[in-house]
Amino acid sequence: MLNGINSVQKDDDRKIWRREWRYQKLDKENNFCIPFDYMTTDWPDIKMFDVEEKDFRFKAEGYEISLMLDVGMNHVIYIRTLGISIIWDAFQNRLHLNNQETYLHHQNGIIQLKITRKGTECRVQGGERELNIYDSGQYDLHVQIDTKCGNAGAFESENNGMLVWMEVCGIHTADEYKEEIISEETRRELVCKDKLFFKNDHYSIYYNHLEDEMYGKPDAYVVSPEHVISLQRVTEEFQWCHNPMGDMTRVLNRGSEWKRESSREEFRISTGIPAVDAAFQIAMDVLDKAKSPQYAFEGEQGMWSAGAFQGTGMGFGVWCRDTMQMLLRGIGFIEPGITRRTVEYILKSGKDNAVDGLAAVVISVWEYYLVSHDRELLLKNADTIKAKIQQCEKVFNEEKGLVYAAFCSSNDAYEDTEAGGYALSTEIYFMYAFECAFNILKCLGEPAEHYKFLAAQMLEMIRNKYWNPTAGIFTSGPDGSVAFKDEVWETAGEEGVIWNIWGIASEEQKNLIMDNLEHKIITPYGIPLMPGHLEKTHLARSVWTVYTTGYAVAAAELGKEELLVTLIAQQIRNAVFNKTFYEVYNADDGRAWRWPAQTWNAIAYISLLLSGVFGLKKDIEGIWFEGFIPTVLSEIRIFNLRYVNMRLDVSSEGEGKIVKMTLDGVEVKKIFWNLQGHHKVKLICRKED
């Protein structure tokens, strides 16, 4: 607490945008314009500029101004803003607002104030007591700071002080939506007929509306799966945060209403539960943006962008690691053409920001081949693919049976020093890259056994060196590392060992890991990355949806129905309240921040249903389903799942583990890749006693 201003205010949840000024020397008269706009410049930057009030696109219901002044040698400071005039008298240490005053003593020459305007009310905090006035509610949007400088004697000085910091925020003031957005009658109808889907101590998800203690009022409403009403829940920023992490939070949909026009011909998962289906439609909306030329770099049109980033005109671009993660989580079943162009592109270009970037390209090629059997891509790019495989081998340490990996897969900013140079998640991805290399070279008729051997050697080392029986987890570093000694959990790596596509953990180990997850790691809002780290960044102690898939698959495999539904519900909350999938969510309060329309997080939500609930599996021969249908999702269906030259509609009967599959009425174990046309798949489920 500074000068009576609590560092955490309820109004923080109401802020919809912020702009700031720092370290500006004060003259006798100083005017700061609140209205602004912005433009994209050179990637990754944007530029703010002042505009006239009539051209201000970001007008808000109310405003909050927080400022810190170095008063210098001033004996009077005048502040005029938001329709009020404040006077601070340095001799008397008094703050005056009309006929009100309070004691405000500087601290080493620094004073702090917070001014909040909501309609006809304006309040000033910072002194011993709060000052309030009520007026007509008419005001201009500027901050005028004037100074009167001079010492107690006859001295004059140019030390007019400094604006150390000022933040201006637009804020919400209403607890309900305007009638033209959603009427009170419609809200009552939605709530009246509502059923509960999921509830914990912090939020509730009903079929047609969501309540949340952190986001507060108004609630989010699901009018239909393609129509959501939810207030803007994040604070938008237009300036880089003052840290080394490249943080900024942006917003695409600044209104309260979100709509999407879906097509009956596109891939779709439907449950009959509007909130669950709305999250799916929001994920598809993110994918719409990811392939849109509006967000694409020159030369990257018609590919999967990693996200919308700064908005139209400046998307994230195509990234190697993101492409791999999208493919692992099923994006190839949705848009094969977009996926092919993206994979072919990263063979020669794309952003390679992570230590597993080499592995990502090789994995992406094989994952795409498994859903397409596109032999032409392999033949056309054979030399480039073989060069990428050889580059992977160059980082392999024969003596250790591992690759040197100072960074875990989810962290591209700083080394995971506790892992001792051999971070678990990155080892897993390189292990799989060598397995993919074996399969690719085999398809090309090239010598391949060497890479099968490397993959097997790495699998053995991961199983033997990373499993910590005392902790009941695979630690983020091998035996002998600080991570092993301190029993460090790393979420991307732990997901890899329990995900059955790689066959690392035994069933006993999976049960121990999932027990640790449920009792020590997961929060009401998700699974935090690197939860043991002291720092709190977008990389540590935060939730990324993308690294949730493997846990959902394991929950389904082990029959952990409640956990499976919880993992899905956490992302429904994120999607519906924010009308998009953000890059980052706080693990402690669930607040979304950083970049909107993050593609891999959107496909990750879809994968919770596709890979977790349905248990979709694939190999070189075909696909099959071995998931777990929870009771609350017993009506779940898939439409237009695209696989090679076929489209599949998938329904289920019963609930629990999938025990039988029929294709057009005939029982099958696998749907082979050379089938063509549109077909019906039915899954028979049964709960074990």
pLDDT tens for 277-307 read 999 999 999 999 999 999 999 999 999 999 9
- CATH number for the domain spanning 86: value is 2.60.120.560
Encoding tokens for residue 292? 């849109």
Secondary structure class of 663 (helix, strand, coil) = strand
Q: Residue 311 has what pLDDT?
A: 84
Please count the CA atoms within 13 angstroms of the CA of 602 that sit on its side-chain side. 31
Does position 420 have pLDDT exceeding 80, yes or no? yes
Does position 334 have pLDDT exceeding 60, yes or no? yes
pLDDT tens string 635-660: 999 999 999 999 999 999 999 999 99
Whether 536 is in a domain gets the answer no
3-state SS string for 211-233: EECCCCCCCEEEEECCEEECCCC
Q: Residue 549 has what pLDDT?
A: 98
Position 1 confidence tier, pLDDT thresholds 50, 70, 90? very low
Secondary structure class of 99 (helix, strand, coil) = coil
Q: Residue 11 has what pLDDT?
A: 52
| Count of C-beta atoms within a 10 Å radius of residue 500 | 18
3-state SS string for 463-531: HHHCEECCCCEECCCCCCCHHHHHCCCCHHHHHHHHCCCCCCCCHHHHHHHHHHHHHHHCECCECECCC
| Count of C-beta atoms within a 10 Å radius of residue 178 | 9
Q: Residue 571 has what pLDDT?
A: 97
Encoding tokens for residue 327? 């493919």
Segment holding 119, helix H or strand E: none
Nearest to 622 by CA among 640, 635, 641: 641
Does position 348 have pLDDT exceeding 70, yes or no? yes
Cβ pair 468, 475 in contact under 8 A: yes
Domain that holds residue 80: 10-171
Does position 621 have pLDDT exceeding 60, yes or no? yes
Does position 631 have pLDDT exceeding 80, yes or no? yes
Encoding tokens for residue 334? 């949705």
Burial of 242 (C-beta count, 10 Å sphere; 0-12/13-18/19+): exposed
Over pLDDT 70: what percentage of the chain? 97
Distance between CA 334 and CA 153 in Å, rounded?
78
Encoding tokens for residue 667? 């029982």
Whether 203 is in a domain gets the answer no
Whether 110 is in a domain gets the answer yes
* Mean pLDDT to the nearest integer, 194-205: 95
pLDDT tens string 357-380: 899 999 999 999 999 999 999 999
Instruction: Tell me the pTM.
Output: 0.94
**Contacts of 252 by beta carbon, 8 Å cutoff, 6+ apart:** 289, 308, 311, 580, 596, 597
Q: Residue 488 has what pLDDT?
A: 95
**Lowest-confidence segment of 142-156, 173-187, 549-563, 627-641 by average pLDDT:** 142-156
687 or 440, which is more confident: 440
Does position 9 have pLDDT exceeding 50, yes or no? no
Whether 128 is in a domain gets the answer yes
DSSP-assigned states of every residue in 293-325? GGGPPTT-TTS--SB-TTBTTB----BHHHHHH
Distance between CA 686 and CA 473 in Å, rounded?
30
* Mean pLDDT to the nearest integer, 386-396: 94
3-state SS string for 269-299: EECCCHHHHHHHHHHHHHHHHHCCHHHCCCC
Does position 35 have pLDDT exceeding 60, yes or no? yes
**Lowest-confidence segment of 12-16, 66-70, 634-638 by average pLDDT:** 12-16
Q: Residue 151 has what pLDDT?
A: 56
Whether 120 is in a domain gets the answer yes
Q: Residue 13 has what pLDDT?
A: 66
Q: How many domains, the chain?
A: 1
Does position 518 have pLDDT exceeding 80, yes or no? yes
* Mean pLDDT to the nearest integer, 152-157: 52
Whether 210 is in a domain gets the answer no
Whether 403 is in a domain gets the answer no
Does position 7 have pLDDT exceeding 90, yes or no? no
